[in-house]
Structure 1
Amino acid sequence: MSAIIRDHAGAVLLVEHRHDDAWQLPGGVDEDVRQLPCGVAIVAELPHVALGRKIRMTTGLHVSAGPLLVVDYAQAEPGVTPGRIDFVYDGGAAGRTEDLLISAELTNYTWALVNDFGTLIRPPMECRIRQALGALATGATACLVEGQPVHSGQG
């Protein structure tokens, strides 16, 4: 789970986690999870509530998760990774002047404009973010597989 958090100029907040040197959206799951064949269930906590808590713990931002923007299915790689479903919520706007906390889980953060995505973000994450921004504009949740849009009748 993650959230699109924008500044007033439309730049998107990206974070770097200690366990992965790639820029990502803030969010994630923590130790209180149960793995399912196609996703993660938070124990005793609603997903959008867990997301707000996780963002607050890692960045210091108080975010109330808004509408669901993207559902992205990552297929299983037998013997390597289980399949999972990632959810991207609208995290609203935050001012760049707000001091962000860099928790022990993060190494850095940046605000990136759409034109800068290609130099910062891996292609599947870039597509997921672009689809989430499109969903903000249209009001329709984007359904993806491996970061790519799934069209009606496709399977």
Structure 2
Amino acid sequence: MCDPRLLAKPPVARLGCLVLVRNRRGDVLLVDPDYMDGMILPGGAAKPNELRHLAAARHLHTETGLRLRLTDLLAVDFTPADRYLERLNLVFDGGTVCDDTPLAVPPQHRSDLLGARFVRVRELPDVTAPSQAARITEALANRTLPILLHGQRAA
């Protein structure tokens, strides 16, 4: 049963679907957007009713060329409203790829990205905002949680 009161005015918030990918050395894959200072985890918003892990995988592929199956969640990060709407970021585990895995970043005029590269964990504070570095560090330290869809593991 759908109660129209629940759908009348949905909350205004942004939901980020991010992916943490490492290479065999333990470096973290980051993208460099032209619209903000510092590098960030690949990812973006989900479309309406899009499964969140599939949205994260879609953005990862679009931004880096990587096609990865995401089955686990590493962190949930809430950020209160500041210059942006409040947001909830889900950090999915992209696992580990070979050190020489090629990245395919689309041209800046199509992607708003200046590039993508693997960054050593100790260098995160130098290339990311403090909140990004903290999010990544926490995600790296956590064990994975399964992604569920109506109580069942999402495929």
**TM-score scaled by structure 1?**
0.74
Q: 2-side partners of 1:95 and 1:19: how far apart?
A: 29
Of 139, 143, 153 in structure 2, the residue corresponding to residue 132 of structure 1 is 139
Match of 2:12 in 1: none
Structure with bigger gyration radius: 2
Of 107, 112, 118 in structure 1, the residue corresponding to residue 114 of structure 2 is 107
Unpaired runs of 5+ residues, structure 2, are 1-16, 147-155
- The Cα RMSD (Å) is 1.8
Match of 1:93 in 2: 96
Q: 1-side partners of 2:43 and 2:87: how far apart?
A: 15
Q: 1-side partners of 2:36 and 2:69: how far apart?
A: 25
The aligned amino acid for 1:10 is G
Match of 1:148 in 2: none
Cα displacement (A) at 1:111: 1.0
The aligned amino acid for 1:13 is L
Cα displacement (A) at 1:140: 6.2
Unpaired runs of 5+ residues, structure 1, are 34-41, 142-155
**TM-score scaled by structure 2?**
0.74
**Aligned-pair identity (%):** 29
Equivalent pairs, count: 126
